[in-house]
Amino acid sequence: MSAPTVALVVAMAKNRAIGRGGNLPWHLGSDMRYFRQITMGKPIVMGRLTFLSLGRALPGRTNIVLTRNAAFEAQGAIMAYNLEEALDVARKTAGKDGVDEIMVIGGEDVFRAVLPQASRIYLTEVHATPEADTWFPELDRREWREVSREDHEPGPKDDYAFSFVVLERVQS
């Protein structure tokens, strides 16, 4: 089996907003279902603040929490103290579980650090420009090609319209 793909999973507004006050700046029930569907059974890598915003380890996935704080413990998760350690644990877990993707779920600093190694992005484009204090890094769209897009009007538990977009890194 080849090395697993490093994929980012992010919901981002038109202004690149991804968070406010430790939470998402919107509620999209449809995106929560999509997130669960694409990450289930795969190792997920997240920063400490993202773990705290979730409030618990996500079931059905190996949770790997990246932190510089050696005293921090996340119940139900594997701790990693640098990016390479986190990705190494995720690769080994993916191999053991027979899955072909490592899912990186945030936050801002983790996305920025992993972006150069990522070859896929599961992007939920939120059709809004909310106030925020956390941002997704600038993407050079010449380095990425869109392989799928599903546009959605807001459902009963969605604050805004949105699109599910999958981007693949262009091989140079």
What's the pTM?
0.96
Is it true that the peptide bond before 107 is cis, omega within 30 degrees of 0? yes
Which domain covers residue 129, as residue numbers?
5-169
**First-last CA distance in the chain:** 23
Give SS3 for 157. coil
What pLDDT is recorded for position 2?
82
Q: Where are the beta strands (DSSP E) in the chain?
A: 5-13, 17-19, 44-47, 63-66, 77-80, 101-104, 120-126, 134-135, 144-152, 162-169
According to DSSP, residue 24 is labeled: -
pLDDT tens by residue, 114-151: 999 999 999 999 999 999 999 999 999 899 999 999 99
* Residue ranges of the chain whose pLDDT lies below 70: 1, 172
Enclosing H/E stretch for 83: helix 83-97
Q: Where residue 32 sits, what CATH number does that domain have?
A: 3.40.430.10
- Calpha distance 171→123 (Å, rounded): 19
Based on the structure, what is the number of domains in the chain?
1
3-state SS assignment for residue 155? coil
